[in-house]
Amino acid sequence: MVIRSGLPGLLNSISGSRATPCKNKITRGVQSGIFLVENGMGVRSKSHYRTLTFLTRKVSKPVFESAGISKVEAIGGNMKVNQVAATGLRRLSTFRPNKICADNTLLNNANKHRLSSALKNLNTVNTRFINTGSKNSTVGSGSNTSKAELTKNKKDAGLSDKSVRTMATASNVSSMRKGHISQVIGAVVDVRFEGPPPPILNALWVDNDGTRLSLEVAQHLGDGVARSIAMGATEGLMRGQEVLDTGSPITVPVGTPTLGRIMNVTGDAIDGFGPIKSENHLPIHRAAPSFDEQKSDEALLITGIKVVDLLAPYAKGGKIGLFGGAGVGKTVLIMELINNVANKHGGYSIFAGVGERTREGNELYHEMMATGVIKRASLVYGQMNEPPGARARVALTGLTVAEYFRDEQNQDVLLFIDNIFRFTQAGSEVSALLGRIPSAVGYQPTLATDLGSLQERITTTKKGSITSVQAIYVPADDITDPAPATTFTHLDATTVLSRQIAELGIYPAVDPLDSTSRMLSAHIVGERQYNVARAVQKILQDYKSLQDIIAILGMDELSEDDKFVVARARKVQRFLSQPFQVAEVFTGKPGRFVELPDTIEGAEQILNGSCDDLPEMAFYMVGDIKEAKEKAVEMLKTR
The CATH number for 397's domain is: 3.40.50.300
Q: How many domains does the chain have?
A: 4
Output DSSP code: residue 108.
-
List strands edge to edge, sheet with 465-473: 262-263, 377-382, 349-354, 412-418, 465-473, 319-324, 493-496, 516-517
Q: Domain end: 408, 432, 461, which one?
A: 461
Strand, helix or coil at 244? strand
SS (H, E, C) 300-335: EECCCCHHHHHHCCEECCCEEEEEECCCCCHHHHHH
Q: Residue 538 has what pLDDT? A: 95
Q: Domain end: 438, 461, 484, which one?
A: 461
Q: Residue 497 has what pLDDT? A: 93
Query: What one-letter code names the amino acid at 51?
Result: T
Residue 426 lies in a domain: yes
Measured in whole angstroms, how far is the alpha carbon of residue 222 from the centre of its chain?
Answer: 30
CB atoms within 10 A of CB 203: 23
Specify whether 14 is located in the same domain as 90.
yes
Residue 616 lies in a domain: yes
Q: Residue 324 has what pLDDT? A: 87
Contact of 72 with 83, CB cutoff 8 Å: yes
Specify whether 12 is located in the same domain as 61.
yes
Q: Residue 552 has what pLDDT? A: 87
Catalytic entry in 38, 73, 356, 429: 356
Residue 293 lies in a domain: no
Specify whether 71 is located in the same domain as 135.
yes
Q: Residue 220 has what pLDDT? A: 95
The dihedral region occupied by 603, where left means phi > 0, alpha psi between -120 and 50, and beta the remainder, is: alpha
**Does residue 508 have a cis bond before it (omega within 30 degrees)?**
yes
Contact of 263 with 380, CB cutoff 8 Å: yes
Specify whether 59 is located in the same domain as 36.
yes
Residue 84 lies in a domain: yes
Q: Residue 345 has what pLDDT? A: 72
Q: Residue 284 has what pLDDT? A: 96
Specify whether 221 is located in the same domain as 154.
no
Residue 489 lies in a domain: no
CA atoms within 13 A on the CB side of 431: 18
Specify whether 35 is located in the same domain as 93.
yes
Measured in whole angstroms, how far is the alpha carbon of residue 68 from the centre of its chain?
Answer: 32
Q: Residue 174 has what pLDDT? A: 56
Give the DSSP H or E segment for 408: helix 388-408
Specify whether 27 is located in the same domain as 80.
yes
Specify whether 424 is located in the same domain as 561.
no
Catalytic entry in 330, 393, 574, 631: 330
Specify whether 233 is located in the same domain as 367.
no
Would you call 627 a catalytic residue per the annotation? no
Catalytic entry in 99, 120, 357, 518: 357
Residue 102 lies in a domain: yes
Residues of the chain with pLDDT under 70: 1-174
Output DSSP code: residue 166.
T
Specify whether 221 is located in the same domain as 367.
no
Q: Domain end: 134, 165, 196, which one?
A: 165
Cα separation, 10 vs 84, whole angstroms: 19
Specify whether 268 is located in the same domain as 245.
no
Specify whether 232 is located in the same domain as 218.
yes
Residue 485 lies in a domain: no
Output DSSP code: residue 29.
-
Please name which of 225, 209, 226, 208 lies closest in space to residue 217, comparing C-alpha atoms.
Answer: 226
SS (H, E, C) 17-40: CCCECCCCCCCCCCCEEEEEECHH
Range of the domain at 81: 7-165
Give the DSSP H or E segment for 630: helix 625-637
Residue 108 lies in a domain: yes
Would you call 356 a catalytic residue per the annotation? yes
Would you call 330 a catalytic residue per the annotation? yes
For the whole prediction, is pTM greater than 0.85? no
